[in-house]
Amino acid sequence: MSADGGAERLAELQEQVRQLKEAVVSHAVVDQAIGMVMVLGRVAPDQGWLVLREVSQHTNIKLRNVAELILVWGRTGAMPREIRAALEDALDRHGPVQIPGTPG
Residue 103 located in a structural domain:
no
Domain count across the chain: 1
What is the span of the domain harbouring residue 70? 27-94
Measured in Å, how far apart are the chain's first and last C-alpha atoms?
A: 68
Distance CA 36, CA 69 (A): 11
Residue 15 located in a structural domain:
no
Q: How many residues would you count in the chain?
A: 104
Residue 78 located in a structural domain:
yes
Residue 99 located in a structural domain:
no
Rg (CA), the chain: 18
pTM: 0.71
Provide the mean pLDDT of the chain. Answer: 86
Mean of the pLDDT values across residues 53-64?
95
Residue 70 carries which side chain, given as an amino acid letter? Answer: I
Residue 101 located in a structural domain:
no
Is the model's pLDDT at 95 over the cut of 60? yes
